[in-house]
Amino acid sequence: MHAGIIFFLVILGSVLFHIFTPWYWTDVASNWGGMDDTITLTFWVGGGVFIAVCLFMIYCVFKFSYKENRKAEYKPEDKKLEKILTVATTLGVAALLAPGLIIWNQYVSVPKNALHIDVMAWQWGWQYRLPGNDGKLGTTSVRNIDDNNPFGINLDDPYGSDDILVMSDKINLKNNRPVKILLRSVDVLHNWYVPQFRAKMDAVPGTVTYYWFEPNKVGEYEVLCAEYCGVGHYAMRGMVEVQEENKYEEWVNEQETFASYVAKQKNIELQEKKLAKK
């Protein structure tokens, strides 16, 4: 009896702890509030099963506790109980999976007006590339990456010359504008994650992964790497600043294009050669 009472108090304490402690995540700052809904659903379904199983165990403790002269019942199977548990488990799993599949379908169905942003990950930092006036990103290849071409843009691709290069761990986004994140990695697995956006995806070497979101609150948010990527993983952080349209356009106009970057690098090399001759 004492064991049953203690077990009940543990269950009650667990439930009260999750209800009254501030364990919940940060405020959502994008269109993916559905992510929170699926997690909340998982919490309630999983919590309900936890309580039901624990209460059943308490029942068994009291019901089948030791009594003198009681004989144990031999019952190797119960088909009726097995059917009930099978149906209940199926319904519970369906309740968990169905909303997640719906959200996932929306997660990878990118709106046509989304701005494509190339997010390049490396040990241990981030840099970004945005389309220029032509509205398209140039193609890239890891083999092209060097000091004069940090993103590996194909030089024979006409769409690449006006690409906007952001060689910084901070990126600015326009408020209420859908963004398609194109993730690349030049070394190991990384993961571009902003907790307030409820969106993340692994950056896999040798391929381009993607997802999309729409920021809807002006402000600054921290970027985290959510995939262990080496000894510097803890410091692989960045910033996202969500701005209104006028400030965002001002920021874009201040950035450097690939063509201007190449010209600047060539000028630096020329100056270095002149100094070397002297």
Domains of the chain: 2-63+76-107 (no CATH), 115-272 (2.60.40.420)
Q: How does pLDDT run along the chain (278 residues), one tens digit per residue?
A: 677 788 888 888 888 888 787 767 788 999 998 888 888 888 888 888 888 888 888 888 888 777 777 777 777 888 888 898 899 889 888 888 888 888 889 998 999 999 999 999 999 999 999 999 888 999 998 888 888 888 999 988 889 889 999 999 999 999 999 999 999 999 999 999 999 999 999 999 989 999 999 999 999 999 999 999 999 999 999 999 999 999 999 999 999 999 888 888 888 777 777 777 76
Please answer whether residues 211 and 197 qualify as being in contact, where contact means their C-beta atoms are separated by less than 8 angstroms: no
The span from the CA of 132 to the CA of 162, in Å, is: 5
Please answer whether residues 175 and 242 qualify as being in contact, where contact means their C-beta atoms are separated by less than 8 angstroms: yes
pLDDT at 203: 94
The span from the CA of 37 to the CA of 274, in Å, is: 63
pLDDT at 260: 87
Please answer whether residues 129 and 163 qualify as being in contact, where contact means their C-beta atoms are separated by less than 8 angstroms: yes
pLDDT at 192: 95
Please answer whether residues 169 and 238 qualify as being in contact, where contact means their C-beta atoms are separated by less than 8 angstroms: yes
Helix (H, G, I), strand (E, B) or coil at 278: coil
Q: Could you tell me the sign of the dihedral formed by the alpha carbons of 237, 146, 270, 267, in that order?
A: negative
pLDDT at 130: 94
The span from the CA of 88 to the CA of 29, in Å, is: 36
Global pTM reads 0.79
What's the CA dihedral at 23, 101, 178, 226 to 10 degrees? Answer: 50
pLDDT at 78: 83
pLDDT at 75: 77
Helix (H, G, I), strand (E, B) or coil at 127: strand
What is the total residue count of the chain? Answer: 278
pLDDT at 1: 67
